[in-house]
Structure 1
Amino acid sequence: MFLISIGIITIIVVIFIIQFKFKTNKLYDKMLYGHHIMITGGSRGIGKCVAMEAARLGANITIVARDATRLKAAANDIKSQFIKKNQKLHYISIDLGSEYNSVKNALDCAIQEIGPLYMLVNCAGMAICGTLEEMSINDILKLINVNLISTIQATKAVISDMKKTGHGTIVITASQAAMCGIYGLGVYSATKFALRGFAEALSMETKAYGIKITLALPSDTDTPGFAEENKSKPLETLLISESGHLFTPEQVGHQIFKDALEGNFFSTIGFEGHLLTIGCSGMAPCTSYFELVCQVVFSGLLRLIVIYYQAKFYKIIKTCKLEREENSRKIS
């Protein structure tokens, strides 16, 4: 079993390296002078890093978030990356999960001021950890509102205008939790799985209009939100997440923006993320022959690796349960 897993991974790594070696870096070949990029959740973390990337390519930018103070600070940082004097930046303080007409009017004003939208990057999101029985109904509804409703409403507000222009890109930022459910992230995973379904359906609705959809699946990212999330993570979730790699928001933001510009449906960072898109491709649209070959050849074999990791995670969960019961007996 172990040797089979190593063999599969080695083959994929070799193909991945060959593909990477001969692939041109289109991100910096494509300047965005005058194009309007709108980023939700743009005041910090991944969203802010995407905005910084766009600024360095000459784009006009709108950032959207709830906290006006953070927006103003982020706006100054983003402007420092401008490469042309006539670049524009607009920021909107609004809860994207609030009444739809308010959201629509706010985003319309930005489009009227800066110009037609070339790209919408949905980065607004949050995580609240805990088993289902531990989570309050308020926290459950908050996760659904911030992670799912906000993305749907922001996208709905701009989709008609983007169809009229006949081109553009919409990024839906989910998580690797959109591909696999993890202990302590049940409701969070539910919202991210929903975003994956939304992205796949949206790609069917928009393809004929020249609009591309990118589904971003970042790994754990060292953001303020991640630090806050760790405060509520059950021990089991912390131990399971340690098996993955922690990336910086700059790394993730760069990769998301690069994949969006290249028209990729999946945007992943790190080898684990790439494996997930191979093993869980489902009905996702095909935008890369390399990915298609990997999915056809290796998806069945990768199931063996998944079973190995599941057994490893279940062992962690069982050990934590036994230790908790033992501590409870000692106290009583």
Structure 2
Amino acid sequence: MNNILITGAASGIGAATARIFHKRGWKVGLLDVNEAALSQLAAELNGAWHQPLDVTDLEAVQDAVKLFAEAHDGQLRLLFNCAGILRFGYFAEIEPAAHAQLLQVNVQGVINMTHAAFTYLKQTSDAQVINMGSASGLYGVQHMATYSASKFAVRGLTEALNLEWERYGISVGDLMPPFVNTPMVTSQTFSPPVLKRLGVNLAAEDIAEACWQQAHQPRVHRPVSLQFKLLYWSGQISPVWLTRLVMRWLGRD
């Protein structure tokens, strides 16, 4: 049985991924804090399994994952940790509570979901975890400091679990796109220079397709878009000072 449980499923990348996997015959589970949008998407997908969820609520996470798995004979083929929040701006001008919330959703939420899913992943053939990484997890990005920190954490968790869970036959990888045209980006009130220089050249559907590719050809890291693939691979072979120089230029006011 091929099934996928998606956090942050009510809009943007999560919703696009749900539509693609549903259309291609997978059983889809939808989780999101936005109950109204979640119900609307579930109805669109012929009554797909769904439940409102705050990924920072550990007990609720454990209950949701258990319910989805039990509805599918205890199996969980793929967990897609897509839920996340973003805040552009100067680090010192963003209140500490906003920094904390971002880390809670983007890091602790991923940890909560992945930990809760382990029991069901390890008893499913070809099980996978796909985390929503970011180009900002390659090198820290100005005006996105805490978001970058969260994606560095996701990258580290991905790499570690990919090794640790190999013994169970569980693949863990992440998607690493640059800016994507989703409400998370378009709703921002501050526009950082790096956004203006790189542009927003990806749609949610592009990332959903990358998720589909990852589900069938797992990699530890999957850079998305030619633009970022070039940056990613050059970053693997270039000296740190050169990468820093490029990032300084991209973020320059």
What's the TM-score, normalizing by structure 2? 0.92
Q: Contact 2:12–2:204 at 8 Å: present in 1 too?
A: yes
Distance of 2:153 and 2:244 partners within structure 1: 24
Aligned to 1:72: 39
1:209-265 CA-to-partner distances (Å, cap 9, x unmatched) read 111112111211111111112x134xxx2x222222421111121112212321122
Residue of 240, 243, 257 corresponding to 2:194: 240
Q: Contact 2:235–2:243 at 8 Å: present in 1 too?
A: no
Q: Which structure: larger Rg?
A: 1
Whether 1:105 and 2:60 are equivalent positions in the alignment is: no
Listed as ranges, the matches of 1:38-53 within 5 Å are 38-53=5-20
Q: Contact 2:197–2:250 at 8 Å: present in 1 too?
A: no
Q: How many residues align?
A: 251
| Larger relative helix fraction | 1
Larger RCO (alpha carbons 8 Å, 6+ apart): 2
Identity over aligned pairs, percent: 22
Residue of 119, 127, 136 corresponding to 1:160: 119
How far is 1:165 from its partner?
2.8
Distance of 1:38 and 1:205 partners within structure 2: 22
Listed as ranges, the matches of 1:86-235 within 5 Å are 89-98=48-57, 100-115=58-73, 116-229=75-188, 231-233=189-191
User: Which secondary structure does the structure 1 equivalent of 2:198 belong to?
Assistant: coil
Distance of 1:118 and 1:183 partners within structure 2: 37
Aligned to 1:325: none
User: Structure 1 unaligned runs (5+)?
Assistant: 1-33, 80-87, 282-298, 318-332
Aligned to 1:250: 205
Shift >2 Å, 4+ stretches? 76-79, 164-167, 302-314
Distance of 1:121 and 1:311 partners within structure 2: 32
Q: Contact 1:177–1:192 at 8 Å: present in 2 too?
A: yes
User: Structure 2 unaligned runs (5+)?
Assistant: none
Q: Contact 1:179–1:276 at 8 Å: present in 2 too?
A: no
Cα RMSD between the aligned structures? 1.9
